[in-house]
Structure 1
Amino acid sequence: MAEPSRTQYQHFVPQFLLRNFSHPYRPQKGDRKKQKRSKRKDEKRIYPGERVVNTLDLSEDPPVLCEARVNRILGQMDMYRDTNKPSLEQQHIEQMFSRLEGQASTVFRKITKAFEQKEQGLWLTREERDLVRKFLFLLKYRGSTFHRRFYHDNAERYEADDRELLWEYMAEKGFKRPTDVWFDNLRTIMELSMDPEGEWLEDLPKRMFFDDAMWFIVHAQCMYMAICTPSNPSDEFILTDNSYNVFEGPNCFVTDKNTGKVEGGSHTSLHEFAPISPKLMIILRSCVLPVPEEDANPEMKEERDLWHSMTLDRVYDWEVKSLLSDLPIAKARNNYSEIVNGRVQLNEDEDGKRRKDHKFCFKYFPIDTKHVHIINGVFLQNAYVCSRVVFGTKDNLSRTLQAHLTAPTNIIIGDDADLRLQFLKKLTAVSKSLGSEKESVWREEPSPEVRDYEGSRLKILEMRRFCSKMIKGDWEDDADNEFMQIYKSLGGSKGTLLVDVDQAGLMWKLRVKIDTWSQGLDESLRHRNRLLLIESYLRLPPCRVWLFVKHIRLAFLERSMGFETEINFGDYFQEPENIIAKASHIIKPERLAQLIYKATLNDLKLKEQPEINLWAKINKLDIYGFKQIKLLRLLNSSRPEYIRDCGIDEIEQLARNQQLEVLKEGIQNREASGYSILEEGEEIELLTRIRIRSKFVKVLSGKLELSLLKTLKEVFFEIVFPTPT
């Protein structure tokens, strides 16, 4: 009979890093007997000379300042134990961690040793750099936050906002527990070979849970690494349970009007952190932020401006400014390029391909007290779920707490606002006990409200599901795939999908670039440029235009989810462009793309101003009446403007007939309609639409299945050609 696997205390912060924060334990002076027990454990169960760290124990109330053994802190019993395996194999994940830590510790020791020897920096090979990048992600992904996310025995207990995607993945791969997915993802990343050619970028999303694979790719490819040290000798970095799992950047919460529950909204990581010692910190900076030597190249600057716009400007209602925007760090230099006149230039013998023999020089960037406090403040802001704060000296901890508690960035918001507030009060008590006389500062803010958060969450999952299938190339050509049904109805095929998806993405990028390039110009000129671009797009195949408008809808969804207070997501999900596509066989080809675009744009315009009753009687031009007319004209500003040009033969003929009837009735009857404040052509068009609306289903009877025909009527007269009832 196999011997049961022994219970282990398993660290989520490796001991080789904790030792950099440690010192030998020295018992407090006491009676002679206690001093003579040099080889026995004292009352704290710590040997004299054993490595310990200074720590603030947050599990106590009030928190306690004490020392803790390196081998019994920032971990928990059997954290990575796989109970589905035979006894002797249950610690296989921990064993893999041990091997990887052995490899990584060599590189980290190289970093700390060069610093101790007062070097200005050090060179790492591409392989060493990639090992560090992989290890930093694993420090995040293996930590307590993800243990809480994944460590469940059944799928129903998994509550993260991507739960439906995880359940689908579990069913596809045959996993029974979320824990199995976590272990498999960890194993896949640890075994990953990051070849210089980049083949791993295509391979990884096919080998593990897609969302987390893409997260690793962004972490490794879309952020650059720098090493920082305090310029003031008395400053130190602290360490918490989740230091490797927090970020600096916008992080928003919303309240679901339907449930009253506070949920996570939009968030963007601009900086991430990896404490190495009290004097060394690895910082990862997002590549959306400026890189002067690269931005000297106009093409690279355009690409970065576009990325910045798509990542920040189009998501948040304010100008996002990082707390660490002025942090004095830069990309590592390398042995395959040089900076000439402020611009990066490849060496003569280089062709731009990545090679194993490339090396990178990482400087030790000195940062001032302000930046050290901001970084430590980010850790403390997120430490309300932590068990420990590890620090160097009490004096430094006192300064760190005081700086954090008096900073204007302490905002109490989110689904755990009560815990955050309670934690700030705990830290205040600790700060007072260390001698601070300053009052703590914080403010409580309510979360913006949205309607039907659950619906918006599911819609985002649908978009992510689409991205997963697109990148992995595993579209199924079957009757149950509604996406492919719609795409094919517009003239697409499985063979054209990837090209159209790629081209639609480029169309959206160019649309964003037009706005970016023209900032500061007269708004009428900017509007004209947009119209010219869209007009050229609408001459493309309708299936590609349909994919393009999905980018518009996703950008609107990302923006609306966090900051609009009156968005009805339940209506939003009907996606009128899909209804137009399903009826495409009765629509003239030359009008189809126009209708798809207009259906999407009008739908979003209406949802941006839900407070306006478009058909309230307009008798005088007050502010509200002005908004009504402005919105009505905006909805009718793109082609087709008139229902007589809608692209459906039967409706076009009916419209021409009904328009003649309206003209025969004369101006007096039209004034009685209640829209006399509109221009004559606008009145005639509205009255024509009213007449057609009542006849729409009858005229097209037999052309479409009845339920689709009724839905198409709603799309036509409520969105594409807005018509009063």
Structure 2
Amino acid sequence: MAATASQYQHFVPQFLLRNFAHPYKPEKEGPRNRKNGKKTKYERGMFPGDKVVRSLNLTEDSPVICEKPISRVLGQMNMYSDSSKIGHQQQQQVEKLLSKLESQACQIFRRITKAFEDNEAGLWITRSERDLIRKFLFILKYRGSGFHHRFYHDKPEDYAEIDRELLREYMVERGFTRPFNVWLDNLRAVIELEMDPEGEWKSKLLKRMYMDDAMWFISHVECNYMAICTPSDVADEFVLTDNSYNIFEGPNTFVQDTDTGEVGESGHVPIHEFAPVSPKLMIVLRSFMLPDPREDADEKVKASRDLWRFCAVDGIYDYWKKSLLDDLPITKARNNYTRVVDGRLQYLDVDKTKWKRLKSHKFYFSFFPISTKHVHTINAILLDNCWPCTHIVFESVESFSRTLEWYLTAPCTVGKIIMGYDVERREAALKKLETISRSLGSTKETVWKRESSPPMRDYDKFRLRHVELRRTFKRIITGGDSAVEEVWKERGVDETIRQRNRALLLDAYLRLPPHRVWLYVKIEIWQMQDAQGPRHCVNPEGLNRLMYRAGIASDKMSQFSDVNLWGDITLDFEGYRRWVFVTQCTFAGPGFIRDCGKYSPICSSSIPDIEKLARQAQVEVLRSGRHLLVDDIDIKAGERPLIEEGERIELLTRILVKSRFRHALKGKLEEDLLEKLHSVFFDILYPTPPRDWSMWWVSA
């Protein structure tokens, strides 16, 4: 890139760094210069009274706690300088836009810190101010060193992230020659975005900005709520790292290609995100998927929330039971257009049909006191992700020492499981933290461990399928507002919830492996093309659950891709693997085909015609008595069939349903879709043996 005038540019603004700063007080005066007798500087770039922060410098092999001027920490040279432009003014256009946004945000953040300093319980913020904070927090995330590293390339082929094909296509479409310019343009698009209360800004942004990152911004704004936390113990403090605003808490999975050794991400779901404001204030963004008692008093709202949580988290990440901050004592901000009556939210305007969002609407943000354990947990999440950072900023050494020791010695449930990519750097960072903790007096045993990423065959094929699905999403989203509205229509649900659900579901699907999305996308395209047709044979809500279950089942079945799944059970290793397949994939996950799409008794079905067919088939099986027969086997005392009676009934039912599936849906789905749905149902969701399969094994 062409040379440009050097300028130190922050990814954490100085107005936030000042909240962690104190006046520089040298322990002693600098020595006099031997030649001219003048006193030398105390420290490079620091003089008594200058604003400085205490930080742990992670760039050194032997980490040290030091003081740094706020003008030279948490930034780097020429981050936003566009060297493709001529002249300093042109090169610094994005920096100027960032400075303007920071100036606007600074006024609101100053009101927050002043209200806290004045011992207020909270403060009122208008909708416009809240939206500006949300935009600013996203910019703090997106402008960070990690994203600078992601995009800082001269050539399209040098961009090697998981979405590389999509970004290169976007560059050709928009005439960009460097990935770095895409990043600068995306920053500009978000900064200049006018967020109208009606929400029209979303469709505008999707057309203006690289779609994947535009969807990410929409999710950031609409799929969580904001709360302000403060330590209940005056001795506790929050820390600040380079990437604090990029960190989330929630499921995060990696896989490793069995042939190439490549490690890649297979899915993640942010449940909590963080934005340090000062040592005593932390903004927490909490996912709407977590319960909200006041909203959940409405059964429709609760059912909607439960569905999205099942789709995005519970139905996929078996290992992830609950959030580390599940019991964090925070709630959504109050507002001036609803009230709580008998535990339920009610609009002040009785005529709800006339209600609409206004810029002048206000929200009351309380300062929520949180326990020492919660403070330590939040700090631990930041520390667990500090391996690419240059500094960890804190106010008092005593508080930092306590929270560091707690993190290093706590069980690995708070992190410290080294896996994924850059494992060497991750472990090196933990060793540096251990060294500092020892120097601060800790004698407790530190704990961390290494684990291998789950294996996956042909990760690049998996990645490319995901790329293709994102292309399909782009076609859906750019198909026009009316088409998107038709897809996401939820009758009888408040528009606020509908808007949130659209963003949440899109975000969830975009983050997940492709086989969990393919059929959903296919059917949604078909629904838009044939809005007046018999599309109601498929219930979208139940279909969502089926697609996620298909993904889980596909993951499990990939482990048995080299096994003759419906062969005879033999007393050897292959026979054992075949039996494991039957128990884990055939029965353990999908349940009964007569209830396809349900995950609780109150859920709606996904394909009513197939459920009706399955119930009829089950009645036929029971009447025929076929499930009671045992072919060519004498069951002796002490022996029992490996396939229990209920399981035999289910498999026979599936065989009958499979033979009648196409006929039941003929004319209701296009032929291509019907064939693929048939394959997904009976090869993945409800594995079904051939009609002549001998399933009457006996175990002594």
Answer whether TM exceeds 0.5 for this pair.
yes
Aligned to 2:564: 613
Aligned-partner Cα distance in 2 for 1:39–1:279: 38
Using the TM superposition, name which of 266-275 and 460-469 deviates more.
460-469
Look up the SS of the partner of 2:373 in the other structure.
helix
Distance 2:204 2:375 in 1: 39
Q: Which residue of 2 aligns with 1:298?
A: 299
Aligned position for 1:241 = 242
Question: Contact 1:470 / 1:498 at 8 angstroms: preserved in 2?
Answer: yes
The reply to whether residue 22 of structure 1 matches residue 27 of structure 2 is no
Alignment partner of 1:403 is 2:406? yes
Provide the secondary structure at the position in 2 that maps to 1:258: coil
1:439 aligned to 445, 449, 472, which one? 445
Give distance in 2, aligned partners of 1:287 and 1:717: 34
Q: Return 441-450 or 223-232, whichever deviates more.
A: 441-450
* Alignment partners' CA distance in 1, 2:230 and 2:38: 36
Alpha-carbon distance, 1:364 to partner: 0.6
Asked if the contact 1:114/1:121 (under 8 Å) is kept, the reply is yes
Query: Which among 558, 561, 573 is matched to residue 567 of structure 1?
Result: 558
In structure 2, the residue corresponding to 1:266 is in which secondary structure? strand
Letter in 2 for 1:75: G
CA RMSD of aligned residues (A): 4.1
Deviations 1:340-386 (A, max 9, x none): 11111111367431111211111111111101100111111000000
Determine helix, strand or coil for the equivalent of 1:384: coil
Alignment length (residue pairs) = 573
Unaligned runs of 5+ in 1: 476-494, 513-533, 569-608, 639-669, 672-676, 690-710
Q: What is the aligned partner in structure 2 of residue 358 from structure 1?
A: 361
Determine the C-alpha separation between the residues in 1 that align with 2:237 and 2:678: 67
Separation of aligned partners in 1, 2:252 and 2:211: 23
List per-residue Cα deviations over 1:182-240 (Å, max 9, x = no partner): 11111010011111111112221111011111111111111101111111111111100
TM-score normalised by L of structure 2: 0.73
1:374 aligned onto 2:325: no
- Provide the secondary structure at the position in 2 that maps to 1:385: coil
**Aligned positions of 1:167-566 closer than 5 A:** 167-348=168-349, 351-408=354-411, 409=414, 410-473=416-479, 501-502=487-488, 554-556=547-549, 559=552, 564=555
C-alpha contact (below 8 Å) 1:39/1:48 kept by paired residues: no
Q: Please tell me whether the aligned partners of residues 153 and 179 of structure 1 are also in contact (alpha carbons under 8 angstroms).
A: yes
Instruction: Summarize the Cα distance change of 1:620–1:46 in structure 2 as closer, same or farther, 3 Å threshold.
Output: closer
What's 1:10 paired with?
Answer: 9
Q: Give 1:272 shift.
A: 0.5
Shift of 1:619: 8.7
Aligned partners of 1:114 and 1:122 also within 8 Å: yes
Gap change, CA 1:17 and 1:37, over 3 Å in 2: farther
Query: Shift in Å at residue 43 of structure 1?
Result: 4.0
What is the CA deviation profile of residues 449-485 of structure 1, one whole-angstrom value per residue up to 9, with x for unaligned ones? 122221122222222221221111179xxxxxxxxxx
Aligned residue type for 1:405 = L
CA contact (8 A) 2:30 2:42 kept: no
Residue identity opposite 1:119 in structure 2: E
Equivalent-residue separation in structure 2 for 1:629 and 1:281 (angstroms): 49
Structure label with greater radius of gyration: 1
TM-aligned CA distance change 1:720 to 1:624, over 3 Å: closer
Separation (CA, whole Å) in 2 of partners of 1:552 and 1:348: 36
Report what 2:132 is aligned to.
131
The residue type equivalent to 2:558 in the other structure is I
| Change in 2 beyond 3 A, CA 1:373/1:629 | closer
Task: For residues 400-432 of structure 1, give each alpha carbon's deviation from its aligned partner in whole angstroms, at most 9, with x where no partner exists.
Answer: 110110111321111122211121111111100
Look up the match of 1:697.
Answer: none
Structure 2 counterpart of 1:62, which letter?
S
Aligned to 1:57: 57
Aligned residues of 2:18 and 2:70 also touching (Cα < 8 A)? yes
Structure 2 counterpart of 1:68, which letter?
K
Q: Partner of 2:103 in structure 1?
A: 102
SS at the partner of 1:567?
helix
Residue 277 of structure 1: how far off its partner (Å): 0.6
With over 3 angstroms needed to count, the CA separation of the structure-2 counterparts of 1:322 and 1:38, relative to structure 1, is farther
The separation in 1 between residues aligned to 2:175 and 2:437, in whole angstroms, is: 51
Q: Tell which deviates more after alignment, 142-151 or 312-321.
A: 312-321
Q: Distance between the aligned counterparts of 1:156 and 1:364, measured in 2?
A: 48
| 3-state SS, counterpart of residue 42 of structure 1 | coil
Q: Does the C-alpha gap of structure 1 residues 54 and 544 become closer, same or farther in structure 2, counting only changes over 3 Å? A: same
AA at the equivalent of 2:206: P
Q: How does 1:654-669 map to 2 (within 5 A)?
A: none
